[in-house]
Amino acid sequence: MSCCLPDGDRTISFQKLVGYHGEITVDPVTGTILRLTLDADLSQSMPAMRSDIMVEYGSVQIGPNRHTCPIKSVSILRGRSVRVVGEWDARFRTFGPFVTTLNDVAFGDYHMFGVESRVLPGYNRVP
C-alpha cells in the first residue's frame, strides 16, 4: 500500500506492508481463475482508509490458441490528500480532505509475438 505524505519534497511516499484478504473465483470444471479480489487490511492510523484491487480473467484468442488473460482491472484508493498552506511568507504541507481514486482498466487487443529461425548448412560468413 502506498500513498502520499505531506513531509519532504513530494518525492517521499508513505509505504507500508499490510495484510490483505480477498477472494479467488475459480471455474469448478476447469480450475481456471476467473477473478481475484484483494482488500488491504489498513489500520486507522494510516493516511489511507481503503486500498482494493479486482482483476477479472477471461478466455482470449492469441494467435492460434486461446489463453486465460486479464480482461479487466479495477483499483480503488481512498486516502488523504496533501494541502499546501501558506502563512506569513512560509509554506508547509499538511493533510487535506480524503480523496477517492479509481483506476478502471480494460485489457484487450492481445497479440502473439514470435520469431522463426533456421540453420542453413554450408553457410560461409562474408567479411
Give the alpha-carbon dihedral of 2, 83, 100, 75, to 10 degrees.
-30
pLDDT value of position 6: 47
Residue 48 confidence (pLDDT)? 72
| Alpha carbon distance 55, 72 (integer Å) | 6
In a domain, 52, yes or no: yes
Q: Is the residue at 127 inside a domain?
A: no
- Dist CA 28 CA 37 (whole Å): 18
Chunked into runs of 10 residues, the chain (127 residues) has average pLDDT values of: 50 68 94 94 73 94 93 89 74 75 93 86 78
Give domain status of residue 65, yes or no. Answer: yes
pLDDT in tens, 91-120: 766 777 778 889 999 999 998 888 888 887
**Could you give the number of structural domains in the chain?**
1
Residue 113 located in a structural domain? no
* Its pTM surpasses 0.85: no
pLDDT at 1: 40
In the numeric block, the cell 495484510 is attached to 19
Q: Is residue 125 part of a domain?
A: no
Parent domain of 11: 2-106
Q: Which three cell numbers stand for residue 84?
A: 499546501
Identify whether 102 is part of a domain: yes
Distance CA 58, CA 63 (A): 16
> Residue 95 has which C-alpha cell?
493533510
Residue 114: inside a domain: no
Report whether 92 contacts 84 (CB < 8 A).
Answer: yes
pLDDT (0 to 100) of residue 121:
83
How high is the pLDDT of residue 107? 95
pLDDT of residue 26: 96
Distance of CA 122 to the CA centre of its chain: 51
In a domain, 12, yes or no: yes
